[in-house]
Structure 1
Amino acid sequence: MNDPLWDSDDAPDPIELGILGWVLVILRGLPLALLVFGGLLVLLTVRLIERPLFGLRRPITPFIAQFVCRNALRFLGIGFRSSGELMRERGAVVANHTSWLDIFALNARKRVYFVSKAEVAKWPGIGWLARATGTVFIERDRKKAREQTLIFEERLKVGHKLLFFPEGTSTDGLRVLPFKTTLFAAFFSDELRDFMYVQPVSVVFHAPKGQPDRFYGWWGDMDFAPHLLKTLGARRQGTVELIYHVPAKVSDFADRKALAAHCEEAVRHAHAIARLEK
């Protein structure tokens, strides 16, 4: 069963590019496409050698993905800043979810592997990129819960940092939705609980000057292509800010609900403060 999409009471803001906007779409879009798909080609080539030698371990290709994501933000013109220490322990990262831009931002500072709903694997373009970069696809089916927990265990034990969006959907970026607790249950398995940590991260988008605060938000039934064009064609760009919180040790919490509540509070509190200080 799919999670319902979050939607706003107000209609999305109209997209008005104009001549300058379309020029910016070309000037930013072409280099971005070359970067992303060129990086994908390099990654896939390296992976042909990396896979037989290292199996699930990926000592090289995550650096390629990180390079692409860092420079994608530069090509888009979106400012980037972060604070807090990166988690050194084995475990997962959880963050609030605003739009597809989160993927570039979160991978720009920390080499992570995203956990995504199974449908994304079938999306043209995005699905290919997700598969190539090691995304873990899950089906929200209770019958497959144990199978998916085993996949998480396998990836975490080789040192992968798995990144979850516990809200289950993207928003307008002005709020943090309640965290769903289902995926946190996997962290409490006998094989993971004793060494597992979870690091909450607040993702805050600051809109370009003169634009609505929800400029970068992508929610409801909004299509990807118009949102991409709006982002590429923005005359001015804003900033994305990442706030890394102290990692939480799973064994310090009684159950998945307690851990999810702790992570949600950390993300929500810092998100609210950062938006006030923009």
Structure 2
Amino acid sequence: MEVVHPPLDAVHPVPAASRRRLPLRFRSPLPRLATEVFGLRPLGGRLRAVRRITCAVLWTLAAIPVQTVLVALPAPLGRGKVAFARFFHATLCRLIGLRVRVIGTPCTEAPVLFLSNHSSWLDIPVLGGVLEAAFVSKEEVGRWPVIRTVARLGRTVFVSRTRGATRGEADVMRARLAEGGSLILFPEGTSNDGCRVLPFRSSFLAVADAARRVQPVSVVYDRIGGLPAFRRDRPLYAWYGDMDIGTHFWRLARYAGARVTVVLHEPADPATLPDRKALAAAAGRVVAESAALLRQNRPAAPLPLLAPAAATPPGA
């Protein structure tokens, strides 16, 4: 005798949702790839970005007339333009939510030539808020709206990449150092993705002999959301290629808990190194070594600036 069993769905009805041909798919709120760090942020992130950008713009507009007056003052009374420029940059970092941690001490034996790695436009307010010095920047920055005004009020020295203008620009930098003013130079020559330090170009250090001291500086953006920043987070800080500053600023301003670490290495007399090539190699090694430690979330300390031969003893 054959026993006929009723269909399973007659005894235990199957929910309609489970009879769908395509399974349910859930989208993870977390980024799955390194390229997804620029994905959608919650509404709070947008409100945070609007608040930060508005405060940064208002602060800049309020500071421009003050710095204009300070720059116009005669030399004996013009010390305020240097101090106010540092105050402006330090305040700007706080307004955009970027916490600055400093390891080491800035050299005060002016004139000083500070040599730093370069990965973003953020390096300007970060270093400007730590060091009382003017920047050496590429000529293109002098043609950007608003930014060119801020840069000129900060007494930025603009340099071009044409060989014919190199001698005149070097004379301007030497004159600034001769006046007792310190300079911040990016010897890499360009910004990068923040995952490495490019070799320092010795041609940028032709004026090092006019400085009393040379101090290497390492800058690494090592926190985002209060947590260690990894390789996939570097594009949030790094500014390179065809990125535009407005979109880059908007994306970063939507995040909380951002931090940058600045390591001020031990200053040295440039005359103690044989030539500018040795200086470029020694400063690049010090900056790269410290930056690598910070990217690995390891503690870093100021390093001495030694000539390549002294940095690696024979038989080591």
Shorter-chain TM-score bucket reads 0.7 to 0.9
Aligned residues of 2:222 and 2:294 also touching (Cα < 8 A): no
Q: Within 5 A, what are the aligned runs for 1:117-156?
A: 117-156=138-177
Deviations 1:188-240 (A, max 9, x none): 4xxx2xx6321100001014137633021111111111101012222x23211
Distance 1:39 1:47 in 2: 12
Q: Which residue of 1 aligns with 2:115?
A: 94
Q: Which residue of 1 aligns with 2:304?
A: none
Distance 2:174 2:78 in 1: 16
Question: Aligned to 1:240, what secondary structure does the other structure show?
Answer: strand
Q: Which residue of 2 aligns with 1:199?
A: 215
Cα displacement (A) at 1:13: 4.7
Code of the aligned partner of 1:213: D
Aligned residues of 2:222 and 2:297 also touching (Cα < 8 A): no
Alignment length (residue pairs)? 259
Aligned residues of 1:116 and 1:138 also touching (Cα < 8 A): yes
Structure 2 residue 59 is matched with structure 1 residue 38: no
Cα displacement (A) at 1:83: 1.1
Instruction: Rate the CA distance shift 1:94–1:12 in 2: closer, same or farther, 3 A.
Output: farther
Distance 2:112 2:55 in 1: 34
Taking structure 2 as the reference length, what is the TM-score of the superposition? Answer: 0.77
Question: Aligned to 2:237, what secondary structure does the other structure show?
Answer: coil
Q: Which has the higher contact order (CA 8 A, sep 6+)?
A: 1
Q: Which residue of 1 aligns with 2:46?
A: 22
Give 1 or 2 for the bigger CA radius of gyration: 2
Question: Aligned to 1:159, what secondary structure does the other structure show?
Answer: coil
Structure 2 residue 294 is matched with structure 1 residue 274: yes
Aligned residues of 1:113 and 1:162 also touching (Cα < 8 A): yes
Q: Which residue of 2 aligns with 1:246?
A: 266
Code of the aligned partner of 2:164: K
Cα displacement (A) at 1:21: 2.4
Aligned residues of 2:38 and 2:251 also touching (Cα < 8 A): no
Cα displacement (A) at 1:169: 1.1
Structure 2 residue 94 is matched with structure 1 residue 74: yes
Cα displacement (A) at 1:269: 0.7
Aligned residues of 2:70 and 2:78 also touching (Cα < 8 A): no
Structure 2 residue 281 is matched with structure 1 residue 261: yes
Deviations 1:230-275 (A, max 9, x none): 12222x2321110001112111112111000010011001111122
Cα displacement (A) at 1:146: 2.0
Q: CA RMSD in A?
A: 2.0
Code of the aligned partner of 1:124: P
Aligned residues of 1:15 and 1:230 also touching (Cα < 8 A): no
Aligned residues of 1:17 and 1:230 also touching (Cα < 8 A): no
Instruction: Rate the CA distance shift 1:142–1:93 in 2: closer, same or farther, 3 A.
Output: same
Question: Aligned to 1:137, what secondary structure does the other structure show?
Answer: strand
Aligned residues of 2:37 and 2:233 also touching (Cα < 8 A): no
Code of the aligned partner of 1:200: P
Taking structure 1 as the reference length, what is the TM-score of the superposition? Answer: 0.87
Code of the aligned partner of 2:103: S
- Identity of matched residues, %: 32
Aligned residues of 1:199 and 1:245 also touching (Cα < 8 A): yes
Distance 1:228 1:26 in 2: 11
Deviations 1:123-162 (A, max 9, x none): 1111111111100001122222221221111100111111
Q: Which sections of structure 1, spanning at least 5 residues, go unmatched?
A: 1-9
Instruction: Rate the CA distance shift 1:171–1:30 in 2: closer, same or farther, 3 A.
Output: same
Distance 2:91 2:160 in 1: 32
Code of the aligned partner of 1:267: V
Cα displacement (A) at 1:92: 0.6
Distance 1:151 1:115 in 2: 11
Q: 2:103 aligns with which of 65, 70, 83?
A: 83
